[in-house]
């Protein structure tokens, strides 16, 4: 199995988690109450996931790809420019689109950890990683975001 492919895969998901983290922070600021509190609780967990992916990269002699991370950061910023029924204000549709995106990224994280568990669980370099804990956390985020997304859809549409 090629470590080159693994480094690419890890860098792709490191960039994805950066975009997700930026969007979580923005959405949390725009949504007080249950949604904002849940998103704020996700922040340290996403930071920890990023650190784990960076550590995994080091274990396979890789380094973070600053171009991919820069593009993910820019994509999140440009995503704010779309018209969501209000030119300069945060709307119910903005919230729904952000929650759709966060739901998708949480699902992608679940797939990421499941894929690594399947392909690399016996890799000695990753023996200390609790893949199941990462999978559970991503599933919990995904399930809660599903509920919040449905609530947002009822309001926005």
DSSP structure string for 113-125: HHHHHHHHTT-GG
Task: Note down pLDDT in tens along the chain; length 157 residues.
Answer: 589 999 999 999 999 999 999 999 999 999 999 999 999 999 999 999 999 999 999 999 999 999 999 999 988 887 777 666 666 678 899 999 999 999 999 999 999 999 999 999 899 999 999 999 999 999 999 999 999 999 999 999 9
What was the pLDDT predicted at 2? Answer: 82
pTM for this structure? 0.91
Burial class (CB in 10 A: 0-12, 13-18, 19+), 154: exposed
Domain containing residue 108: 3-156
Q: 83 with 146: CB under 8 angstroms?
A: no
What was the pLDDT predicted at 121? Answer: 87
Tally of structural domains, the chain = 1
Alpha-helical segments (H) within the chain = 3-30, 34-59, 66-78, 92-120, 131-156
What was the pLDDT predicted at 80? Answer: 73
CATH number of the structural domain spanning residue 74: 1.20.1260.10
What was the pLDDT predicted at 64? Answer: 96
CB within 8 A of 96, min separation 6: which ones? Answer: 149, 152, 153, 155, 156, 157
């Amino acid at each position: 199995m090629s470590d080159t492919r693994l480094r690419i895969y890890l860098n792709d998901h490191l960039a994805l988690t950066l975009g997700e983290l930026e969007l979580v922070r923005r959405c949390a600021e725009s949504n007080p109450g249950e949604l904002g509190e849940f998103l704020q609780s996700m922040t340290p967990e996403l930071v920890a996931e990023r650190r784990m992916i960076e550590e995994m990269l080091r274990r396979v002699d890789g380094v973070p790809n600053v171009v991919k991370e820069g593009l993910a950061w820019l994509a999140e910023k440009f995503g704010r420019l779309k018209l969501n029924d209000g030119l300069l204000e945060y709307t119910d549709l903005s919230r729904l689109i952000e929650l759709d995106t966060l739901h998708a990224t949480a699902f992608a994280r679940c797939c990421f950890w499941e894929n690594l568990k399947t392909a690399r669980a016996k890799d000695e370099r990753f023996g200390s990683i609790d893949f199941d804990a990462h999978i559970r956390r991503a599933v919990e985020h995904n399930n809660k975001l599903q509920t919040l997304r449905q609530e947002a859809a009822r309001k926005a549409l």
